[in-house]
Amino acid sequence: MSRPTVWHPFTQHALEPTMRRIAATDGAYLIDEGGNRILDAISSWWVITHGHRHPRIMAAIRAATEAYDQIIFAEFSHEPAEQLAEGLIAIAPPGLKHVFYSDSGSTSVEVAVKMALGYFHNRCEPRDRIVVVEGSYHGDTIGTMSTGERGVFNAAYEPLLFGVDRLPFPAAGFEQEALDRFEAYCRGGRVAALLIEPLVLGAGGMKIYAPSVLAGLKDIARRYGCLLIADEVMTGWGRTGTMFACEQAGIAPDILCTSKGLTGGAVPLAATLSTAEIFDAHWSTDRRKTFFHSSSYTANPIACAAAVANLEVWRSEPVLERIRDVEAAHRRHLARFEGDPRFIDIRQAGTIAALDLAVPAGGYLAEAGPRMRRLFRERGVLIRPLGNVVYLMPPYCVTAQELGHAYDAIDEVATIVLECTG
């Protein structure tokens, strides 16, 4: 088997066929070189919100290229970054006052962890522990792998990872265990921050927990003086039904991470929002208290212009109505699987729907995952199961009929895979 020149992410090339080339994108679809339309039922890894190539966002990108390319952000500012920062603060949970730009979800979380540790370091408070939830995924940089679940994703890099304290996942009926464990950690006096995916653990299996748990964790953090970092990289921009998932718990985090849907998915950009108190801990005539973080493409003006246009889409178009339509379509289609022995734990959070295929061996490396993915591709649908976990997270332009096609594919593929497994 020939080795490809391009090395694709999360791909075992020895087992995968040659990648299909995509020639164009349009709304809820990818279009390959043969003209075949593929329904993008997972928003191209959760980034496309309104649909591919939204006209307003594409126009903003074209216009920005007439004036800008990259500008060193440690030395200068520019209008798109300033406009975007003002727009983000306006829609963010209350209390977030400052915006730090980076390039991806992973880097936005890396920034957040460094902000939290820097906050206590600059205040001369000995707090150095980060608390996370079991099964979390926060990215693939060394710091974010350290805070994520340990396993096949990061086994090779174990010597480089730092230790964190972990809470049990607050599954229904076991919420108090997570709250009690967090309070026990906080009593030790060393917790700097709780880093958490609000309401839904994404790559960890689309696990959903109650908003009341998030509210309870925030209350404990407040009482013990530690910070709450909301990783809204996946859950933000309407995915759970509100702009940010934190809103459903009625809480405001001390630090919020956003990426993916920040530009409508068109180009890479991330932002980490913080309270004034965290910014002020780094504000000093002592240069040693500087926040030492950057990347070459921090606040790329073309990406910022795309994000400003995305904010305008949210202001001027009925995005929340589209989200409600997607939610309702999910509910109708999921109902067909209630009581179906082929599936376990049918669940939904806003525009995210998930169900587990009942196979003898589950988990991320379940053989059912790649088999289902191939069968979905044959049916013109991009669905990329997390092992035996099948999920849908479509762009908001998807129609009920298009979603119906995706659910028909799930129905058909599940039967084929289970017959072969049996």
Structural domain for 130, as ranges: 57-316
Is 126 a member of any domain? yes
* Longest Cα–Cα distance in the chain: 69
> In 3D, which of 91, 29, 83 has the Cα closest to residue 307?
83
Place of tokens 């525009």: 351
Phi, psi of 220 (to 5 degrees): -65, -45
Indicate if 302 and 330 belong to the same structural domain.
no
pLDDT of residue 422: 62
Indicate if 299 and 335 belong to the same structural domain.
no
Residue type, 73: F
> Strands, DSSP E only, in 63-204?
96-102, 129-133, 165-167, 191-196, 200-201
The domain spanning residue 360 has which CATH number? Answer: 3.90.1150.10
Q: Are 141 and 128 in contact (CB under 8 A)?
A: no
Place of tokens 């920034």: 111
Is 2 a member of any domain? no
Place of tokens 């340990």: 150
Rg value, the chain, Cα: 21
Indicate if 252 and 331 belong to the same structural domain.
no
| Token output for 33 | 């070189």
The domain spanning residue 98 has which CATH number? Answer: 3.40.640.10
pLDDT of residue 194: 98
Using the 3D structure, point to which of 254, 281, 316 is the last residue of a domain.
316
Coil vs helix vs strand at 357 = strand
pLDDT of residue 1: 67
Using the 3D structure, point to which of 316, 335, 359 is the last residue of a domain.
316
> In 3D, which of 246, 221, 251 has the Cα closest to residue 233?
246
Coil vs helix vs strand at 272 = strand
Phi-psi region of 43 (alpha: psi -120 to 50; beta: other; left: phi over 0): left
* Four-residue CA torsion sign, 269, 274, 276, 279: negative
Phi, psi of 123 (to 5 degrees): -90, 0
The tally of domains found in the chain comes to 2
pLDDT tens, the chain, 422 aa long: 689 999 999 999 999 888 999 999 999 999 999 999 999 999 999 999 999 999 999 999 999 999 999 999 999 999 999 999 999 999 999 999 999 999 999 999 999 999 999 999 999 999 999 999 999 999 999 999 999 999 888 899 999 999 999 999 999 999 999 999 999 999 999 999 999 999 999 999 999 999 999 999 999 999 999 999 999 999 999 999 999 999 999 999 999 999 999 999 999 999 999 999 999 999 999 999 999 999 999 999 999 999 999 999 999 999 999 999 999 999 999 999 999 999 999 999 999 999 999 999 888 888 899 999 999 999 999 999 999 999 999 999 999 999 999 999 999 999 999 998 76
CA distance 282 to 115: 9
| Token output for 199 | 């309401």
Residue type, 216: G
CA distance 131 to 168: 11
